[in-house]
Amino acid sequence: MSKQTIILLIVLALVIIVALTAAISEKPLGSMMQKRKYPPSSKDSTMKTIAEYLKDAYHTGMPKVVKTETEWKKLLSPETYAIAREAGTERAFCGAFYDHKKEGIYICVCCELPLFASNAKFDSGTGWPSFFQPVMKDHVEEKTDNSFGMRRVEINCARCDAHLGHVFEDGPRPTGLRYCLNSESLKFIPGEVPAKF
Catalytic residues, which ones? 180
The nearer residue to Zn ion, 121 or 139, going by C-beta atoms, is 139
Q: Report the nearest approach of Zn ion to the CB of residue 56 (Å).
A: 13
The nearer residue to Zn ion, 67 or 100, going by C-beta atoms, is 67
The nearer residue to Zn ion, 72 or 168, going by C-beta atoms, is 72
Based on the shown chain and the rule CB under 5 A, indicate whether residue 107 belongs to the binding site for Zn ion.
no
| CA dihedral sign, ordered 155, 137, 79, 178 | negative
Based on the shown chain and the rule CB under 5 A, indicate whether residue 180 belongs to the binding site for Zn ion.
no
Size of the site for Zn ion (CB under 5 A): 8
Based on the shown chain and the rule CB under 5 A, indicate whether residue 115 belongs to the binding site for Zn ion.
no
Residues 13-72 that bind Zn ion (CB under 5 A): none
Based on the shown chain and the rule CB under 5 A, indicate whether residue 140 belongs to the binding site for Zn ion.
no
The nearer residue to Zn ion, 50 or 160, going by C-beta atoms, is 160
Based on the shown chain and the rule CB under 5 A, indicate whether residue 159 belongs to the binding site for Zn ion.
yes
Round to whole Å and give the CA distance between 144 and 27: 55
Residue 197 half-sphere exposure, CB side, CA atoms within 13 Å? 24
Based on the shown chain and the rule CB under 5 A, indicate whether residue 135 belongs to the binding site for Zn ion.
no
Q: Report the nearest approach of Zn ion to the CB of residue 66 (Å).
A: 11
Exactly one of 76, 84, 140, 157 binds Zn ion (CB under 5 A); that residue is: 157
Exactly one of 57, 83, 84, 108 binds Zn ion (CB under 5 A); that residue is: 108
Round to whole Å and give the CA distance between 90 and 22: 54
Q: What is the pairing mode between strands 121-122 and 163-168?
A: unpaired
Q: Report the nearest approach of Zn ion to the CB of residue 111 (Å).
A: 3
Contacting residues toward Zn ion, per CB under 5 A? 108, 110-111, 113, 157, 159-160, 162
